[in-house]
Structure 1
C-alpha cells in the first residue's frame, strides 16, 4: 500500500469493512471513492508518527472522503485513539473547514475556524438605543425572539462583509452591546460503522419510573420497529424535522424496545427537537436555543444533547435559565480527543458532562477534554437502531449521553445518581452510569 493510501486508511480507521455492503448500512453511509484497501485495515496506526503531515498530503478527493461531515457518518472510527492528539485535532480542523467549504452560501468562518451562519450576528438583550446605533451602521433586524427573560435579536449584516468583519463593525457601532456569532454545532457521534469486538454479557437496563419525559436535541428520528410502542413527538427547528442516522440511534438508546434490544428509558415519553432539518450545515446556536425553550415547555425530567461546538453567549444564557429552573441536561464532551478545544454545551455550569467507556469500562481515548467531567456511560461495543430497520455498532460520546440522560430522569436526587456510579479506568468523572444499558451487537445482528 502506498504511503498516501495508508494515511487515508488510518483516517477512515480500521474496524470497518469498506466496500462490504449491507442494505441497512447503505441507508446511512455514502460509498467512498477508495479501492484496494485491506479489510480489516491495519491495526498499527500508531506507527504513523506524522499523520498530520500525511493528511495535508492527500488529494482533494481523498481528503473529502476522510473528513466530509455527515449526520450519519460522523467523526472518525474505533481506533481513533491510536493516531495521536495532533492528527485528531487536524482531522477536526479539516472536517470543519470542509463543512464551510461545502456550504458557502449558508456558512462562514468565525474565530478559531468555527463554522458560523453567514450573513447574521446575534444581539443579546439589546436596548433600543443600541438597535438604532447598529441600524445606522447598516445592520437590519431580521428576527426578535424572547426566551423567558432572554431576548435574542438576529441581525442581518451589511452586504459583502465577512462574519468577523461584521462583528468588528457591530462592536464599533454599539460598544456596550452583547453579541455573538450564530455558531454551528456538530453531532458528537462517532462513525456509524461496523466495529470489531468480543461478545458481551447482556443485562436489562435499570428500571425507568412511570410517567417520565425526556427531550433529545439532535437530528430527526426515522421509523424503526423498536419504536412501535414508544411515544415520540418531533418538532423541527431548522425547517421540518428530517430523519437522520444519528438521531435515530440516539432515540433508540432512549426509548427503543425490540426483542433483546432495550433502550435505557423504555416507557418514557420522548420529545425530539430536530435542529438540523437534514443538513449538517444547520444546527446553529439560535436553533438550539429555540429547541431548549420548546424543551422547557414540556417540563422534562431530563434533556439529552449529543451536540458539540464552541462557547456561545446566547446558548450559555439559555442553558443558565434552564439550570436555574432545575431542568437536568446531559451533553457529550465530543470525540476529537484531548488536543481539541473544550466543547459546549457540556462545559457550561448546570449541564452534566458525559464521556464514554468501552465494554471493559475504559474511557474512550478519543473522548474530548472538559472543564469538568461528571459521568461516563457505555459508548462503544454496543448496538443502536438504523433508520428503517436493523442495528449498527456505534461508538462515541454521543451514544453515552442518552444513557446518562435516562438515569438523570430516573434518579430522585444527585446523591442517588452518585450511588449508582461504578468504577472504571481512565477519565470517567464520578463513575460509570447505566453500565447494563449496553446491548450486545451480536444478539441483534448489528452491522
Structure 2
C-alpha cells in the first residue's frame, strides 16, 4: 500500500491507519493556515468570531428581536445597522454593529450576556468545497429531462450553462464563477432542466455569509424549488440553521457537501444540520476521497473526482471535491420526487452499497449516480 503522505510502500493495517492519521492531521493544519491567511488578507471586512470561525467584521445577527432587546443592546453600545426579513421563510433578523473598540468575538459574548436566551450569531462565511485544474474540452452530457425545480446556493453561473433563473444576494451578484458554473454544469449533465441559481458571492469579499444564504433559501423556497444543493461549508450558525429548518418545513430537500478539509476537520455545515442530506465523494475507482470532510451524519456518496466540467470560461477542467458529488445526489432526489415516489426509499434502492455492508461512516447509505461521470 502507498503512504499518501510520504509515498513509501508499507504493509499492515496499523501502518495504513497511521498513514491516514498523518494525512488527516496534514489536512487539518492546511485548513488552519488557509483560514488564517484568508482572514489576514481581508482583515478590513472579515474577522474571527467567538467560535473561531471567519465572519463579516463587526456585525452580529439577532433573530426575531423585540424593541426591548434592541433597546437593551443599544444602551451597551451596540447600534442597529438594519433589519432584514427573510422572505419566503418568515424570519426576521436585526443586524447589529459591535461597540467601537470591541472585536467581534468579545461583542458576541457581551451581547449574549446582555440578552440571555436570545438567538445571536456572527454573519459567518461559507466556502466552496471543490477544486479543479484546466484541461481540454469535453463532450456535452446527456439531454436534460428532469423538470422538478432544483436550486443551488453558490457562486454565479456562466451563460454556457442553461439555467431557469439566477438571482444575486451579494454585491455585484449574479456574476459568473468557476465553482458555481461547474456545479450547475453537473446538475445539467445529470439531466436537470429547471435550475435556479442563488449567487451568494458576487464580487463581495465577505460573500457566502449567513445572511445571504438565508435569503437565498427563502427565495428558492418561495419560488417553489423542491431540492436545493449547497456545495458550501462553514461553521454552525443559528440563522442558517433556522433558515434550513423553515425551508424543510415548507417541503424543500436540502443537499450539502461534507467539504474537503479531511476527517480531522470540524463537522461541516450545512451538511450537519438535522435532515440535510450529507454527501461525500468517490474517485473513478469508487474509492472515498482521502480529503473528504465529515458531518454529524452521512447519507450518500457520489462521483467527485476523475470527472470533468466546464468553468465560467466554457473550457473543460478536471474536478475533485465533495462539491461536485452533492449536485449529482440532488438530481437523483429530484428524479424520485418527479416520479411521485417517496424519495428516500426510491434513492436507497438506487444506492450501490460500498464498504461495510449497510450504512457506514465512509460511504453513507451507498453510491448514487455512479454512471454520472462526465468525461473529456
Q: TM-score, normalised by structure 2?
A: 0.87
Preserved CA contact (<8 Å) 1:252 1:385: yes
Residue 327 (structure 1) aligns with: 252
Give, in whole Å, the separation in 2 of the partners of 1:152 and 1:265: 37
Preserved CA contact (<8 Å) 1:217 1:291: yes
Displacement of 1:81 after TM fit? 7.0
Q: Which moved more, 1:127-136 or 1:303-312?
A: 127-136
Give, in whole Å, the separation in 2 of the partners of 1:406 and 1:341: 27
Residue 422 (structure 1) aligns with: 352
Displacement of 1:208 after TM fit? 4.0
Residue 278 (structure 1) aligns with: 203
Q: Which moved more, 1:111-120 or 1:346-355?
A: 111-120
Displacement of 1:175 after TM fit? 2.3
Residue 105 (structure 1) aligns with: 44
Preserved CA contact (<8 Å) 1:106 1:281: yes
Residue 300 (structure 2) aligns with: 375
In structure 2, list runs of 5 or more residues that go unmatched.
9-18, 357-361
- State yes or no: 1:253 paired with 2:181: no
* Superposed CA offset, 1:187-220 (max 9, x none): 111x21269xxxxxx99769744x3211110001
* Superposed CA offset, 1:40-99 (max 9, x none): xxx9652289xxxxxxxxxxxxxxxxxxxxxxxxxxxxxx97961111001111111111
Preserved CA contact (<8 Å) 1:205 1:434: no
Map 1:139-218 → 2, pairs under 5 A: 139-147=78-86, 148-189=89-130, 191-193=131-133, 208-209=145-146, 211-218=147-154
CA pair 383-81 structure 1, distance change in 2 beyond 3 A: farther
Indicate the SS of the match to 2:263: coil
- State yes or no: 1:129 paired with 2:65: no
Displacement of 1:285 after TM fit? 0.6
Give, in whole Å, the separation in 2 of the partners of 1:380 and 1:172: 47
Residue 191 (structure 2) aligns with: 265
Give, in whole Å, the separation in 2 of the partners of 1:221 and 1:204: 17
Give, in whole Å, the separation in 1 of the partners of 2:140 and 2:209: 38
- State yes or no: 1:138 paired with 2:77: yes
Indicate the SS of the match to 2:241: helix
Selected match of 1:290 from 209, 212, 215:
215
Indicate the SS of the match to 1:329: strand
Give, in whole Å, the separation in 2 of the partners of 1:434 and 1:176: 44
Preserved CA contact (<8 Å) 1:276 1:282: yes
Root-mean-square deviation over aligned CA pairs: 2.3
Q: Which moved more, 1:292-301 or 1:141-150?
A: 141-150
Preserved CA contact (<8 Å) 1:308 1:344: yes
In structure 1, list runs of 5 or more residues that go unmatched.
1-42, 50-79, 196-201, 256-262
Q: Which moved more, 1:313-322 or 1:140-149?
A: 140-149
How many residues are matched?
A: 349
CA pair 318-276 structure 1, distance change in 2 beyond 3 A: same
Residue 434 (structure 1) aligns with: 369
Residue 328 (structure 2) aligns with: 403
